[in-house]
Structure 1
Amino acid sequence: MAELEFERRLERLFAESPELADAGAFAERVERRLNAGWTARRWLIGAAGVVGGVIGASQLMMSGLFQRVETAGDSARFLSTSLNHLSTTTDWITAVSSGGAVVWVAAGLAVIMMGFVLTRVIGEI
């Protein structure tokens, strides 16, 4: 029985702990150390972002992406002018089947659309 009484008394003492005299100074010191750490983390994350951006940009330039985009733009312009000049459905089917780049442009747009859908779904979760 003495143990149960001791346990209850001990719980009350921990629940009603007195405030220390230097509690304010301690809290300020801890807060200052936390803020200093966040400043260093912000600088480190920013530097890593800049390095990653430079590496990504150089990879894009080396991969020939800009030439591919220009080719896709030419294909889109060709498709646009072809569709303006076509008068019947059979002519349109012939133009689409003969222009392989048109299919790739459509596939690329479908992939981009799926990317937008995926980001929307992830954002909703």
Structure 2
Amino acid sequence: MAEPDFEAQLSRMFAEAPSFPDAALFNAEVAAKLDRGWAMRRMFIGAAGVAAGVIAAFQILSTRFSSEVSQLSKTSSHSFETEINAGVAKLNSVLTTPASAEAVWLAAGLAVVAIAFFVTRAVEEF
């Protein structure tokens, strides 16, 4: 069996971490590396979010306008003004239908949420 004095001395030695002269510098370097890692992660997550938003917007618009665009390309004998009027009419029909208006409002709401997240992150950084 071990002596109680030795055990007490041993537990005191391991209870306190040794102090090094460059401990503050080491802590600052580790904190800087961690902060740099988080900045890169935030940047990659933001870029991925923007890319996903662009792809989602493209998918929403392409599914709605794919038949109209193919029909416009078939009739190339129209004048430019006629094509613009037809495009405006199609855009108006998209905005007046309930499902398309909901999709536009959903996209606008998601954009507002993304801007809010960006503003809170920017305020947190400064």
**Which category describes the TM-score, using the shorter chain as reference length?**
0.3 to 0.5
Say which one has the larger Rg.
Answer: 1
